[in-house]
Structure 1
Amino acid sequence: MSTQKLHESYLNADEATLELLLREASDRIASQVELLVATDTRSLGLLSVSATLATAATAIFADKLGVAGAQPLANAALSAAILLVLSAAFAAWALRPVSVAVRGWDPELFTDDIAQRKTAAQIRAEMLYHLQQRISTNVQVAKFNARSVRISMFFLALAPVVALIAAGVSANS
């Protein structure tokens, strides 16, 4: 629906409908913010685990590099470290500062509406339009962060598999 039609549809709504929609939109934004905070928590956990394991794998690689008979372990550690660093990087990316739309309004935003003598219904209709914009923005941020978290989890899960393959290939060569 076009921006103009969306705004017009809100202008045509009665007071009870506007109140219901405002309450629902506000609840939706509150839920989105909770979801984004949960994603940050998950990302922080992934970052901690991935970075710690990457550090350990790098230390093992450095310790075993050049040691006779330890080449399979060194290769496994290096392979794991690379994937774990990638996992940590994607988890960190999901933690980057982003603009999140939250509930509520600054009162100063309504000074023009008051000066223009807009009705409460007109103001509510405009609020609904802006709430929909906020919801859409939060959806995009959540989708992007979720994708980064999934990629981080993929690299984290893949690290031991690749390490075992690298160790096996090294041992057989």
Structure 2
Amino acid sequence: MTRDQLMNASDGVMAIVVMQGEKRLEGQCAFAEVQDARGGALVGASVSLSAAAVAVAVGGAQLVGLGGPVSVGAVIATLGFSLSALLALWSGRACNFHAPGWYPNDFKDDIATGRTVRDLEVDFALDLQHRLSQNRTALIRRGDLYNWATYCLLGTPIAALVAGLLAA
């Protein structure tokens, strides 16, 4: 929507536009919290599996040397699980993500210039759209990183098994 379209909207329509934008922004924030929780769980699982793989690699190296199939598979597992943890951790970054609301100080210039409530509502609706668009991009990026972390977690045992078999 453009500024002119919003300026021509009735008060009732403006109220709906702003209310729906705020609801969507709150929904995005709730979704980001869920992404954070899932990412944290994946980081924990990946780090635990990586630590276990390190233990197996050390044990395998002690028993059969560094070139043994167990050691090779465990090293690949350590790298894969560590990469999964890194991707999951990176997916939790909240850059370019906006929360609902504004600081009271954000209205200082509007008050000083005597802007009308209508002007503020229009600016509010336009800024909501901007925030929602940036949040959407951030949520998609975070979801993609989480997906890659999951693929890495799930693919690591297969890669470790193949590496171990090739080393045998």
- Return the TM-score normalized by structure 2: 0.92
Residue in 1 that maps onto 2:45: 49
**Match 2:134 to one of 125, 129, 137:** 137
Mapped partners of 2:27, 2:119: distance in 1? 26
Deviation at 1:86?
0.6
Stretches of 4+ aligned residues off by more than 4 angstroms = none
Residue in 2 that maps onto 1:100: 97
- What's the % identity of the aligned pairs? 25
Deviation at 1:138?
0.7
* Mapping of residues 56-75 of structure 1, within 5 Å: 56-65=52-61, 67-68=63-64, 71-75=68-72
**Match 2:157 to one of 153, 157, 160:** 160
**Match 1:149 to one of 146, 151, 166:** 146
Structure 2: 5+ residue runs without aligned partners?
none
Deviation at 1:97?
4.4
1:117 is the counterpart of 2:110 = no
Structure 1: 5+ residue runs without aligned partners?
none
Kindly provide the CA deviation profile for residues 64-84 of structure 1, in whole angstroms up to 9, marking residues without a partner as x. 115238812111111111111
Deviation at 1:99?
4.2
CA contact (8 A) 1:64 1:74 kept: yes
* Mapping of residues 7-46 of structure 1, within 5 Å: 7-46=3-42
Deviation at 1:108?
2.5
Residue in 1 that maps onto 2:76: 79
Code of the aligned partner of 1:81? T
- Compare 127-136 and 159-168 and name the one that shifted more: 159-168
CA contact (8 A) 1:18 1:121 kept: no
- The number of residue pairs the alignment matches comes to 167
